Structure 1
Amino acid sequence: MFWSMTEDTLTYIWIQIESLDIEYWKWVAWMIYPVILSFLLPLIIPILVYCCAIFLHVYQYRHRLRDAYVHDFWDGAKKTVAVFWEAQGRIWHGFEIVGLDRIPDSGPAMIIYYHGALPMDFYYVMAKCLLQKQRQIHAVGDNFLFNIPGFRLMMDVFCISPGTVHSCAHVLEDGHILAIAPGGVREAQFGDEYYQVMWGNRYGFAKVAISTKVPIIPMFTRNIRESLRTPGWGRSSLRWLYEKCRLPIVPIYGLFPVKLTTYFGPPIYPDESMTPEELAQKVKQGIEALISEHQIVPGNILRALSERVTGDNDLKFN
């Protein structure tokens, strides 16, 4: 019975194919081909213009980059990439920072930040610190990043490591700035426009801060969830699957040119009498205070786009 039905179906499909006038459809395709191209080809022009704009922003730093390459090859390479990201952030997102002076010009400090679907804001902050403060921010990255082909060299050059309590303490003891997003991939994949801080029981960073006695600087970027988003469907199933494999399995969409503004809160100094859990809770409250003060919840893509076009006159940028 099954084979008979399958044979009848295949016969029907073949008859339909034979009934098609192939020459006619070739003529139709030939007629609409220029129309399709007329809509697709213009999209190339904005892409080329955008690349030219970024190139010019990079070129204006040619003297600084030339000196960097003479001094140290990797320093020059890092600053070239930093200029690219700074230009991209400025052109596409009108990116600005409030409170950059809270990052010390020397000495150790820890930056704790809210993790968007992709940490583009952190890329911009890293670039700004490298170019303006001449300081390389060390960062903790998820383990899966080091298994992506071609990424290992970039992780090494930009001082990104998986991060253990011991290695993080060593970075701070050497006088560097260390950035951590305790929410990690979980917060990136399953956060939404309501901007809940999703740290779970992660407070290893607090142990490091207490042992090294370094200040913790909270960081949050307004509209980071409106630039890139994850779909709301199937979250429970995807969350279950993520907890099993710990890989970024949720698709991301967007890259909308919304206004992005990063805020640094007042430094939080660890007290030896505090437990790591208490310090982590205090830092979490610092992040939530920045969200409450600077982010309209729930976030809205159209509103964030309007901020990019009109600017936000109520905020003072530096």
Structure 2
Amino acid sequence: MFPIIFDLRKILEDTIVEYIDVDFTLWLSWLLMPLLITFLLPLVIVVLLYLTALILYVYKLHRATLRNAYGTDWRNAARNVVAAVWDAHGWIWYGYEVVGLENIPQNEPILFVYYHGAIPIDLYYFISKIFLSNSKLIHTVADRFLFKCPGWSIISDVIKVIPGTIQTCSTILKEGNMLAISPGGVYEAQFGDSYYQLMWKKRVGFAKVALDAKVCIVPLFTKNIREAFRTISWGRRMWLRIYAATRFPFVPIYGGFPVKLTTYVGKPIPCDENLTPEELQIKVADALNNLINQHQRIPGSISLALLERVYTAEKRES
């Protein structure tokens, strides 16, 4: 009697281990896969940033050899490699392209003003494309918290990323360089949504910079940038309080969806010294809102943005 019961128990255990556990594991992995993908894909951008730091350190350590190879300083050689990496990633994963390059004035300093996505990957791609096309580097203003991150110092040194006071930004432009600023900054990145509303509050620093340096402003907007990466929508009040107290972007980001990304370059807004910073801010905001209303589906849809990627690719091939 007992041997029979033991054999039946052994057969049952073997059956559970061989079939039920396998099926449960497959079911569990199927269930959790979307969650894992949506929250892990943003880490790809972090990996790329640290890959950037790694490449820059390699060029710094081997600059003597590389200088002989490229006939220039290690920073410029490294920028070309880093730009090529980001440009390739943008083309492969997002089918990234720029429309309106003819609107960028040649041989003069320019202040680019752009809408800030949850992760500003579009700016990385845009900077890379401009640098590869004419070897001109766009300086960038970033939030101060980034400069406390390990490995960021070499990126900011080589890629020319600055915290950005009015004086330093104006000096950069007066020296004939190009500069990119997002007036919404981290606040817009963390609390913006698929309705693409500008969240600039009363920030007029960029307008003061443009008026002081006497440069034109070129608006930039990337279609579907909020469909590539998003911040979670629940707990908004809690996250707002945390941000107000810490000024640190704690809101979780998910995404990395391979939607179609297209950056639209608006018409340049010439410097008008008769305008006040507040009036110039309104003028630039109107120009950027016009780009958004003209090119972006409101509200944005991840599924439609994915379909647009396929449709655009098929249209280009035909």
Do they fold alike, i.e. is TM over 0.5?
yes
Residue number in structure 2 paired with 1:174: 175
Say if 1:68 and 1:76, in contact at 8 Å, map to a contact too: no
Residue 70 (structure 1) shift: 3.1
Q: Give TM-score scaled by structure 2 length.
A: 0.79
Say if 2:211 and 2:272, in contact at 8 Å, map to a contact too: yes
Residue number in structure 2 paired with 1:207: 208
Say if 1:218 and 1:266, in contact at 8 Å, map to a contact too: yes
Residues 142-177 of structure 1: per-residue CA shift (max 9 Å, x gap): 000000011111111100000000000110011000
Residue number in structure 2 paired with 1:70: 71
Residue number in structure 2 paired with 1:13: none
Residues 57-103 of structure 1: per-residue CA shift (max 9 Å, x gap): xxxxxxxx999833221111111111111011001100010012222
Partner SS state of residue 71, structure 1: coil
Partner Cα distance (2:149, 2:309) in 1? 33
Map 1:1-318 → 2, pairs under 5 A: 32=21, 69-311=70-312
Partner Cα distance (1:159, 1:80) in 2? 15
Partner Cα distance (1:235, 1:26) in 2? 49
Residue number in structure 2 paired with 1:5: none
Residues 218-267 of structure 1: per-residue CA shift (max 9 Å, x gap): 00000000000111101111112111110001000010000000001000
Partner Cα distance (2:150, 2:281) in 1? 34
Residue 35 (structure 1) shift: 9.4
Structure 1 pair 203–34 and aligned structure 2 pair: CA distance change class (3 A): same
Q: Give TM-score scaled by structure 1 length.
A: 0.79
Structure 1 pair 288–254 and aligned structure 2 pair: CA distance change class (3 A): same
Partner SS state of residue 125, structure 2: helix
Structure 1 residue runs of 5 or longer lacking an equivalent are 1-20, 41-46, 48-53, 55-64
In structure 1, what residue type is equivalent to 2:278?
E
Partner SS state of residue 284, structure 1: helix
Partner Cα distance (1:33, 1:151) in 2? 44
Say if 1:182 and 1:202, in contact at 8 Å, map to a contact too: yes
**Percent identity at matched positions?**
48
Say if 1:105 and 1:135, in contact at 8 Å, map to a contact too: no
Taking only aligned residues, the RMSD between alpha carbons, in angstroms, comes to 2.9
Say if 1:209 and 1:215, in contact at 8 Å, map to a contact too: yes
Structure 2 residue runs of 5 or longer lacking an equivalent are 1-8, 31-40, 42-47, 49-65
Say if 2:67 and 2:74, in contact at 8 Å, map to a contact too: no
